[in-house]
Amino acid sequence: MNNCMSIKKIDTIIFDMGNVLMSFEPETFLSRAGVEDKADRQLLLDVIFKSKDWPRLDTGEWDEKDLEECAKSKLPTRLHEAAGILINRWDDPIIPVTGMEELVKKCKDSGFRLLLLSNASRRQHEYWERVPGHQYFEDTVISADVRMVKPDKDIFTYTIEKFNLNPSSCLFVDDVESNLAGAQSVGINTFLFKKDAASLERYIWKNVTIHS
């Protein structure tokens, strides 16, 4: 999207979580839950991950108990156990994005301030410490906690104000173009991540200088 933009001085890198630090792969989750039938897999995808209800976790309107109750009302009984696993334990185990823990450490060691900004449910706090590289982050902004979601401008403004950031001195790394547009709307520099840690690393060392 804008990965060729030259960035002069950066002091803070803000990372997304899903498909940046850790993989979010519903098809893999279905296999781990033991769902092999093609029709059953599609039904679970439609009722859970692709439904209008899943984003309610990110907004904080619902928690996993609410989603599970709603999903089970739409599913045959034989899929109830799988639904519970997919909703409550999709993160067990965490699937790290290759190379990102090492890159995050390099960024921290180089003096960058590291923050997380993620659309996620309140349960994110239960598994965050199992995400490789979490220990290098100063703090997090989770959408369900603040009742704001990306790509809305408000959550970026909130992050800027909460951590007293200069937008032009920040780099936001996300895998969704609309989220980058939200960050750009408040003056934050962005990088479109495609599960390629080496590409992000080259970009940072070539285009970014630490600003203290």
Residue 1 located in a structural domain:
no
Contacts of 103 (CB under 8 A, 6+ apart): 197, 200, 201
CB 14 within 8 A of CB 172: yes
Q: So what's the pLDDT on residue 207?
A: 82
CB 21 within 8 A of CB 13: no
Q: So what's the pLDDT on residue 26?
A: 98
- The structure tokens listed for 135 are 């220990």
Q: So what's the pLDDT on residue 1?
A: 46
One domain for residues 139 and 112: yes
Q: So what's the pLDDT on residue 4?
A: 44
One domain for residues 100 and 68: no
Spatial distance between the Cα atoms of 53 and 30, rounded to a whole number of angstroms: 18
50, 68, 88 - which closes a domain: 88
- Residue numbers of the domain that contains 108: 9-22+95-210
One domain for residues 81 and 179: no
Q: So what's the pLDDT on residue 188?
A: 97
Residue 76 located in a structural domain:
yes
The mean pLDDT values, 10 residues at a time, for the chain of 212 residues are 58 97 98 98 98 98 98 98 98 98 97 98 98 98 98 98 97 98 97 98 85 58
Q: What is the pLDDT of residues 153-163, one digit of tens each?
A: 999 999 999 99
Q: So what's the pLDDT on residue 8?
A: 59
In the chain, how many domains are there? 2
Q: So what's the pLDDT on residue 208?
A: 75
Residue 4 located in a structural domain:
no
One domain for residues 143 and 62: no
Burial-class residue 136 by CB neighbours within 10 Å (0-12, 13-18, 19+).
middle
One domain for residues 162 and 186: yes
What is the pTM assigned to this prediction? 0.94
One domain for residues 158 and 114: yes
69, 88, 107 - which closes a domain: 88
CB 44 within 8 A of CB 75: yes
